[in-house]
Chains A and B, each alone.
Chain A
Amino acid sequence: MLAGSVGLTAMLCFLCFGVFWLAVPSNPAETDNAAFIFTVIPAPTLTATPEGYLTPTPTQALVSADGIAVGAYVQIFGTEGQGLRLRSGPSTDFPPLFLGLEAEVFKVEDGPKLGNTYTWWYLVAPYDKTRSGWAASTYLSLVEAPTDVP
């Protein structure tokens, strides 16, 4: 009888511990490529300035971005052979400078800037600095830095 209840307690403990242990690693998996907990605590509304500078921020903002950043290399993809217009400014309001080719690789040198709902990056071709302009991130994918860049 005593041995039975000890056994039961031990089993319950093991179960609880086991469940807890299983629950812990499943959390980061939800965040996928952002493998850390990211929290924004809004300022109390009382401290807002009269012009109301506070914008509502979700308390937990997990953003999976495409990983593009200044200094990274990107490749034009998904244009179905049409290429991508590189423009003189970060929006489709700016005139195109030239057509980037599908699969062409560029170095990201500025950005991101928001313009007509796209995120824009300033790209420069590693072999020809004159091939440079702003491109929408929709048709860019991150690639490894070319090994033979000067």
Chain B
Amino acid sequence: MNDVRPVQIRANKSERILGIEWSDGHSSRYPFELLRAGCPCASCRGGHENMRAEPDEEVFSVKLGDVPETRLRKIEAVGAYAVSVEWEDGHHYGIYNWHYLRALCPCEACRQK
């Protein structure tokens, strides 16, 4: 699963969903809420010492709703290994690499792992 990378990334601001088609055929749909709750930046994760390569389990149950914090303003590719996201509240420190994004996939099959 180390070499899995996106072949297509689609941020849909009207459905508030980030869709990723992966090179192994899996497809992931991330509600913007989940993406924000799972922001991998140091300040959201309580400092560098708490940072792991995978999201914390709590992020899957956080309900933030449709607020500026969960409205995606901008999404950009960072080289060929990650995307960075900027939110309407101005927060823009999260860099979501492929490994982290794949681990953040909320689908049932991935959550049962």
Contacts and interface: CB of A to CB of B under 8 A. Distances in A.
Given A70-B42, A109-B48, A110-B42, A41 B10 contact: yes
Given A47-B14, A64-B77, 8 more contacts: A34-B79, A36-B7, A36-B80, A39-B8, A41-B10, A53-B88, A63-B76, A69-B95
SS class of chain A's interface: helix, strand, loop or mixed? loop
12 contacts: A35-B5, A42-B13, A54-B13, A61-B76, A62-B77, A64-B79, A67-B81, A68-B78, A68-B79, A70-B95, A109-B42, A112-B84
Nearest to A38: B9
B97 interface: yes
Report the contact-size class of chain B (Cβ under 8 Å from the partner): 20 to 34
Interface string B1-36: 000011111111110000000000000000000000
> 5 shortest A-B CB distances, which residue pairs?
A67-B79, A43-B13, A37-B8, A41-B12, A43-B14
A3 interface: no
Nearest to B76: A63
Interface stretch (B57-65, B67-75, B102-110): B67-75
Interface in A96-150: 109-113
B6 to A, nearest CB: 5
B7 A65 contact: no
B11 A69 contact: no
Contact of A65 (B6, B71, B78): B78
Contacts of A109: 42, 48
Contacts of B82: 69
Nearest to A55: B73
Contacts of B7: 36-37
Contact of A41 (B11, B48, B68): B11
Interface of B: 5-14, 41-42, 48, 68, 71, 73-82, 84, 88, 93, 95, 97
A82 interface: no
Report the contact-size class of chain A (Cβ under 8 Å from the partner): 20 to 34
A40 B80 contact: no
Contacts of B84: 112
Contacts of B93: 110-113
Given A41-B14, A109-B48, A69 B78 contact: yes
Contacts of A25: none
B10 A39 contact: yes
